[in-house]
Amino acid sequence: MPIHYELERRQDNGNGNGGNGGNNNGNGGNGGNNGNGGSQSSQTGSQTGSQTGSQTGSQTGSQTGTASTLSHISIPETAAAGLLTITQPPQQSTSYYKIAPSNPITFAWNFSYILVTPQHLTVSAVCENGNTYPVGPTDGIIPGTATSVVWDPYAYQTANPSLPLAQAKYTLHIWGDQGPSAARAAGYLSPNSALQFALYTPQGYTPLTSGWSCPGCSGAIPAFAANPAFSGLLITLVVMFLSGVTIMRRI
């Protein structure tokens, strides 16, 4: 048997139409003019008509303005849980992005088996150091039907100096209205955390004329010369050269 879910949607009608009843029923005050009681009957009729019309209009208008309707969504028991599949960047290997101006990152995905569309999606990047960063220009909250988001790490870094982006690996987390740890449910979006990527900060260029030196490079030759294998090879080459010269003289 299918599973029935009830979704309540409130419809606000503003001022209830029944409020007009105060004007219509208020005319009952005219009955006081036809009575033999003179001015007292007129006042009594006016008060009665006004109170009756006001109460009836207020109650009717209030009930109409807060009326709600229930809509039913039928989800078969055999329905699969909703899935989100990352399409950009590729998941076959880790993508590396630099934190630099004019270098936005686009994350894209598609949906499968979604029967109940979420109102919102939350997108965040969780660093391996434990920090969590909102992804996108709207603090990580995007419409539930969105299939991509563009993130500018450099702009985020500039606007949030107290929580800078680390040069490390990150995991992209996307979830719907049920939260990041929601259990798999038929027709509802399941959280996704399958994509990993990395961020790095490029080093500035340093010209050689500024006095830059390579400590490892300058120490490479002495270290190589001190190697016993290098000494043995050098001696072998000298012996071979001298032997060759001696043989050539005999010829």
pLDDT higher at 54 or 200: 200
Rounded to 5°, the CA angle 102-108-110 comes to: 170
pLDDT at 49 over 60: no
| Pairwise CA distance, residues 86 & 92, whole Å | 11
Q: Is the peptide bond before 222 cis (omega within 30 degrees of 0)?
A: no
Rounded Cα distance between 145 and 141, Å, is 12
pTM of the model: 0.59
Q: Please, are residues 248 and 240 in contact by the beta-carbon 8 Å criterion?
A: no
CA–CA gap between residue 107 and residue 134 (Å, rounded): 13
Cα–Cα dist 16/56, whole Å? 11
Q: Give the range among 22-31, 100-109, 198-207 with minimum mean pLDDT.
A: 22-31
- What is the band of 250 on the pLDDT scale with cuts at 50, 70, 90? confident
In the chain, where does DSSP find H-type helix?
21-25, 31-34, 39-65, 153-159, 215-218, 220-225, 228-250
**Alpha carbon distance 144, 180 (integer Å):** 14
